[in-house]
A = this chain, B = another copy of it.
């Protein structure tokens, strides 16, 4: 035990497999036999460009990304994409409907937590369209002010021909996630979108990317994710973009669209094979190692089954403790995230005793996000089932210490 690394249940940047870290050290000195380290080699070298191609191929194969969609690597994280999706999809809408006013150019936002709210606020900042809240989960919450649920399908209200429809698949801070079972009441209401349309559907998958299959992936216009949860270090952002959303933004600007910084233009990045400017090469390399390892383990299907079991074990232990009055889940049953489990520990000083006890057992980074408090257990791909069993045992043991 004393020799082992602590278990890092942090919400991101988050744990990486030890075998990947070992491989990364080798690559830092000698990348693909060049004698030059991966952080030192030109991003235009054949060794590096083939790494980018392999990473793309790994994502495409494991997630089943259809040929209608391009995969783009960029920088700036999810927050950078809050702006970029708005700018690129407003440009697309402008080219399709040049004569609409900004008022008529509607951006539909599904608000289920802190991150979708932040994305919506950025759309308001940038202008060029008008924001419509398709649903606000706070209005459906227990106390009318928490993000504790995925609203029922009948509560969603989409616009007729919006420039984008935005949702965040997993809310890292609030621990709320759409179900991947399209029959579930907590699923995204795809059936409310008219069949056959090229809908401008945007999904932030930052904290669940590669943790399980993406339902109806082909129906999305843009899926984006920062790497720093399931697949690598911070600094890499992954985009899956349907080709009709890769538009000539400058042509749209001539028609009155909001100007798009060149590094945010999907077309510029796609045309350059994600090498328009120097990317975060080391982050790309480590993400490549993570996904090579995933492939060997059985791909996203493997992680889907492991992650499903991990989440079930944790939620079951939580419910047992809830019955004993020790824990209180922050999230409505059925809306809980597989990736980030958030709850309160009840009683005076109980939370700090919970954290200290976990720390003493080598389990770290369990404090909830500063905006909501409580405990957050993040169960990303690099957290093994054995490590999950350790926190589950602790969740079961902690109540017995209290009584």
| With A43-B234, A75-B235 as contacts: A5 and B35 at CB distance below 8 Å | yes
| Majority secondary structure, A binding face | loop
Task: Tell me whether B83 and A263 are in contact (CB under 8 A).
Answer: yes
Q: Which residue of B lies closest to A232 (CB)?
A: B39
In Å, the complex CA distance between A320 and B30 comes to 35
Any B CB within 8 A of the CB of A299: no
- Among residues of B, the one whose C-beta sits closest to the C-beta of A74 is B76
Which segment, of A178-186, A275-283, A389-397, faces chain B?
A275-283
In the complex the two chains form, is B128's CB within 8 Å of A261's CB?
A: no
Residue of A21, A83, A234, A281 ringed by the most chain B CB atoms within 10 A: A234
- A40 interface contact, C-beta 8 A: yes
Residues from 26 to 63 in A contacting B, C-beta threshold 8 Å = 28-30, 34-37, 39-43
Chain A, 163-208, CB within 8 A of any chain B CB: none
- Chain A 303-324, CB-CB to B under 8 Å as 1, else 0, gives 0000000000000000000000
With A10-B42, A234-B282 as contacts: A36 and B76 at CB distance below 8 Å: no
Confirm or deny: A122 has a beta carbon within 8 angstroms of a beta carbon on chain B.
yes
Give Cα distance in the complex from A128 to B259, angstroms.
9
Q: Does A286 contact B (CB under 8 A)?
A: yes
Given the interface contacts A76-B76, A77-B75, does A233 sit within 8 Å of B281 by beta carbon? yes
Choose, from A11-19, A132-140, A325-333, the stretch at the interface: A11-19
Judge whether B258 and A36 touch: CB under 8 Å: no
The distance in angstroms between the C-alpha atoms of A25 and B38, with both chains bound, is: 13
**Do A234 and B281 touch (CB < 8 A)?**
yes
Q: Does A381 contact B (CB under 8 A)?
A: no
A10→B41 CA distance, assembly (Å):
7
Question: Distance in Å from the Cβ of A30 to the closest Cβ of chain B?
Answer: 8
Question: Which of B13, B37, B76, B281 contacts A281, CB < 8 Å?
Answer: B13
Question: Nearest chain B CB to A46's CB is how many angstroms away?
Answer: 12
Contact indicator A80/B75 (Cβ below 8 Å): yes
State the CA gap A232–B282 with chains docked (Å): 11
Instruction: Verify if A372 is at the interface (C-beta below 8 Å from B).
Output: no
A362 to B259 Cα, complex, angstroms: 47
The answer on a CB contact under 8 Å between A16 and B40 is: yes
Q: What residues of chain B lie closer than 8 Å to A234, measured between beta carbons?
A: 39, 43, 278-282
Can you list the 10 inter-chain pairs with the closest CB atoms, starting with the nearest?
A235-B280, A83-B261, A79-B277, A39-B233, A25-B25, A235-B235, A75-B75, A6-B35, A234-B278, A233-B282
A interface list, Cβ under 8 A from B: 5-6, 8, 10-16, 18, 21, 24-25, 28-30, 34-37, 39-43, 75-80, 82-84, 87, 122, 125-128, 226, 228, 232-235, 250, 253, 258-259, 261-264, 276-283, 286, 362, 364-365
4 more contacts with CB within 8 A, not counting A34-B364, A83-B261, A280-B280, are A21-B28, A77-B263, A128-B259, A234-B282
29 residue pairs A–B, Cβ–Cβ below 8 Å: A5-B29, A5-B30, A10-B40, A11-B42, A12-B42, A12-B278, A13-B40, A13-B43, A15-B40, A21-B29, A25-B28, A42-B365, A77-B277, A79-B262, A79-B263, A79-B276, A83-B261, A84-B261, A87-B261, A125-B250, A125-B262, A126-B259, A226-B278, A233-B282, A235-B235, A259-B259, A261-B264, A280-B283, A282-B282
